[in-house]
Amino acid sequence: MSWGLSNRVSRLTKDGRMVMLAVDHGYFQGPTTGLENPRATVTPLLPYADSLMLTRGVLRTSVDPSQKLPIVLRVSGGTSILKELSDEVVTTSIEEAIRLNASAVAVSIFVGSEHEKETLANLSELVNEGERYGMPVLAVTAVGREMARDARYLGLACRIAAELGASLVKTYYCEDFHKVVEGCPVPVLIAGGKKLPEKDALQLAFNAVSEGAVGVDMGRNIFQSSNPVGMIKAVRAVVHEGKTADEALRVLGGEQAAKARLR
Ligand code: 5RP
């Protein structure tokens, strides 16, 4: 691994773990609930994230360039929720990622979907380009509408991503998740998925890191919470301090009580 690539990966990591805040949903979902005004959503959360995953459009319009948070730039897209989701292309060049001072680029792969081959080619081309410039690639194992999120499927997708040269893989938590991690020779992060009750989302994060995930790349379970700042602090407590879901819920409760006192 080149020095530059290793350095960029290390920027994303604090104490060997990662809390990546995902706010890239609009690239195929449009104005997702909670992200209608990206600047308003993201700004208060920045102090508590280790890195921020988003598209160049939201980065350029909605994030102050003076902030120091490492950026993971979503560079695949070209589809919408109205069409076949796997039909993605690479939307943003590595040169643009470097101009934007990104610490990594992110691309989705759709294993088992209609455009599996094209999405794996997108990943491979980005890895080739990334090696040239020292830019790590985060592969996102997107789940096609028909795919079961079980360890067999997610293990297959994560392993293929690692074999093609991804530096990091983002996937979903599932039963027997440790098997997914064991079969993937690069660090694994989990997405939160659809909004869950806070305790369930914290339990998901706890289970994932207990079973070997390096951290979370979480979006909706943070920014759709009634208390997004409290929720990201609670997620940090799980990922960085090894707190259980119940302990982290007290972090969230404390944040809520402090907010109420200020009212
Ligand atoms: C979409 C993504 C999102 O960033 C990902 O789904 C993470 O967000 P959430 O925790 O809301 O699932 O990569 O393809």
Q: Is 220 in the pocket of ligand 1 (CB under 6 A)?
A: yes
Beta-carbon contacts of residue 98 (< 8 Å; ≥ 6 apart): 133, 135
Q: Is 217 in the pocket of ligand 1 (CB under 6 A)?
A: yes
pLDDT recorded at residue 260: 74
- Give the whole-angstrom CA distance, residue 116 versus residue 108: 10
Give the model's confidence band at 146: pLDDT under 50 very low, under 70 low, under 90 confident, else very high.
low
Most informative mutation of 140, 188, 235 for ligand 1 (most atoms within 8 A of CB): 140
pLDDT recorded at residue 259: 74
Ligand 1 centroid – CA 192 distance (Å): 7
Closest atom, ligand 1, to C-alpha of 106: 13
Q: Whose CA is nearest to atom 8 of ligand 1?
A: 219
Q: Which helix (H) or strand (E) holds 11?
A: helix 3-11
Q: Is the pLDDT of residue 157 over 80?
A: yes
CB 141 within 8 A of CB 172: yes
Give the model's confidence band at 55: pLDDT under 50 very low, under 70 low, under 90 confident, else very high.
very high
Alpha helices in 164-263 (DSSP H): 177-182, 198-210, 220-223, 228-241, 245-262
Tokens of 263: 């009212």
pLDDT recorded at residue 149: 84
pLDDT recorded at residue 254: 78
Q: Is 170 a catalytic residue?
A: yes
Q: Whose CA is nearest to atom 5 of ligand 1?
A: 191
Q: What is the CATH T-level fold of the domain 3-261, as seen in this structure?
A: TIM Barrel (3.20.20)
- Structure confidence by residue, pLDDT tens digits, 95-108: 999 999 999 999 99
Mean pLDDT estimate for the chain: 95
Ligand 1 centroid – CA 188 distance (Å): 14
Give the model's confidence band at 169: pLDDT under 50 very low, under 70 low, under 90 confident, else very high.
very high
Most informative mutation of 42, 137, 194, 217 for ligand 1 (most atoms within 8 A of CB): 217
Closest atom, ligand 1, to C-alpha of 220: 11
139-161 mean pLDDT: 89
Give the model's confidence band at 46: pLDDT under 50 very low, under 70 low, under 90 confident, else very high.
very high
- Structure confidence by residue, pLDDT tens digits, 211-248: 999 999 999 999 999 999 999 999 999 999 999 999 99
Most informative mutation of 19, 23, 24 for ligand 1 (most atoms within 8 A of CB): 24
20-24 mean pLDDT: 98
pLDDT recorded at residue 147: 63
Q: Is 230 in the pocket of ligand 1 (CB under 6 A)?
A: no
Give the model's confidence band at 148: pLDDT under 50 very low, under 70 low, under 90 confident, else very high.
confident
Ligand 1 centroid – CA 197 distance (Å): 17
41-60 mean pLDDT: 98
Q: Is 120 in the pocket of ligand 1 (CB under 6 A)?
A: no
Ranges of each domain in the chain: 3-261
pLDDT recorded at residue 80: 95
The two beta strands, 71-74 and 76-77, are unpaired
- Give the whole-angstrom CA distance, residue 199 versus residue 248: 8
